[in-house]
């Protein structure tokens, strides 16, 4: 199933279950399949779960241009508008958290009931003079260099190391690699700047719906202090849930806990 964007890109999505909608935005350089545990669990518990492949990733068009957050957010708007999604809970993991924040910053919350940021890149990952606690640009330059030199091995190294913190099977690591290699080379490369150098602080200030922020305090990809802790302080009345000792990829390492926390948050709105 696909929707077509203003510039003609085809955005793949899957839709499971029925009920109030939950829209899942995935991380870099993955696709909607990375949400399979949460999508299955929430659909089985009475929700309409929609998960899409960001442009340039998975089964969506590998466009040459548009590999930045404004376009990602506009693509998400196209998906919600085309499917006439209303009262949705938007859930963004890692880069997907930036997509959710930028969507709200650009398009508002007319279709949104709740937001959830999971191991998410907002408010601003990159170390700059006005963001001295951020991650040095050399870290992202190293990812870019690895992507150009041997992106296949770079993805394997990420899966075996910082992404999951050594807490998953070889099968889960292989799934990470498979999804990553399905992303377009230019798309995945340019997305590194999109997730690291985009300032989401104004977008977080625009969030006016109940928001849950979930982050592991041992995250080696988006450090807790840079991501979840900082975001929860900038979003009005946000609720912060910290997973003690958890790495970045909690959609796999803590999938049962994450599913339960998401379901409880969803039920709060429906009560």
Residue 248: active-site member: yes
For the CA atoms of 202, 204, 208, 214, the dihedral, rounded to the nearest 10 degrees, stands at: 180
Tell me if the bond preceding 141 is cis, omega within 30° of 0: no
CA 216 → CA 39, 164, 170, 240, 241, distances in Å? 20, 11, 21, 11, 9
Start-end of H helices in 161-227: 170-181, 185-197, 201-205
Selected catalytic residue, list 25, 60, 94, 231: 94
CA 45 → CA 17, 48, 252, distances in Å? 9, 9, 19
Q: Taking Cα atoms as reference points, which of 134, 60, 133 lies closest to residue 99?
A: 60
Q: CB-hemisphere CA count at 13 Å for 52?
A: 31
Selected catalytic residue, list 74, 75, 219, 261: 219
Selected catalytic residue, list 248, 252, 254, 261: 248
Q: Taking Cα atoms as reference points, which of 69, 57, 74, 51 lies closest to residue 1?
A: 51
List the end-to-end C-alpha distance of the chain, in Å, as a whole number: 32
Sign of the alpha-carbon torsion through 123, 125, 129, 132: positive
Integer Cα distance of 91 and 112 in angstroms: 11
DSSP character at residue 19: S
What are the residue numbers of the active site?
94, 219, 248
């Amino acid at each position: 199933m696909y929707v077509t964007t203003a510039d003609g890109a085809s955005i793949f999505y899957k839709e499971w279950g029925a009920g109030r909608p939950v829209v899942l935005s995935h991380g870099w350089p993955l696709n909607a399949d990375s949400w399979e545990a949460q999508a299955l669990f929430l659909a089985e518990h009475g929700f309409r779960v929609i998960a899409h492949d960001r442009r340039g990733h998975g089964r969506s068009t590998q466009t040459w241009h548009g590999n930045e957050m404004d376009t990602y957010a506009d693509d998400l708007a196209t998906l919600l508008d085309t499917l006439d999604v209303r009262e949705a809970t938007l859930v963004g993991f890692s880069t997907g958290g930036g997509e959710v924040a930028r969507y709200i910053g650009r398009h508002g919350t007319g279709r949104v009931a709740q937001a959830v940021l999971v191991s998410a890149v907002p408010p601003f990952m990159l170390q700059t003079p006005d963001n001295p606690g951020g991650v040095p640009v050399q870290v992202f330059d190293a990812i870019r260099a690895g992507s150009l030199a041997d992106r296949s091995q770079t993805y394997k190294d990420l899966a075996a190391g910082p992404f999951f913190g050594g807490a998953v099977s070889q099968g889960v690591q292989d799934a990470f690699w498979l999804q990553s290699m399905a992303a377009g080379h230019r798309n995945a490369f340019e997305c590194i700047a999109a997730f690291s150098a985009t300032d989401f602080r104004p977008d977080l200030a625009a969030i006016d719906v109940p928001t849950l922020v979930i982050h592991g305090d041992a995250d080696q990809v988006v450090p807790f202090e840079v991501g979840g802790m900082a975001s929860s302080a900038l979003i009005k009345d946000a609720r912060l849930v910290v997973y003690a000792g958890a790495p970045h990829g909690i959609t796999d390492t803590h999938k049962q806990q994450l599913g339960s926390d998401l379901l409880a948050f969803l039920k709060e709105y429906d009560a």
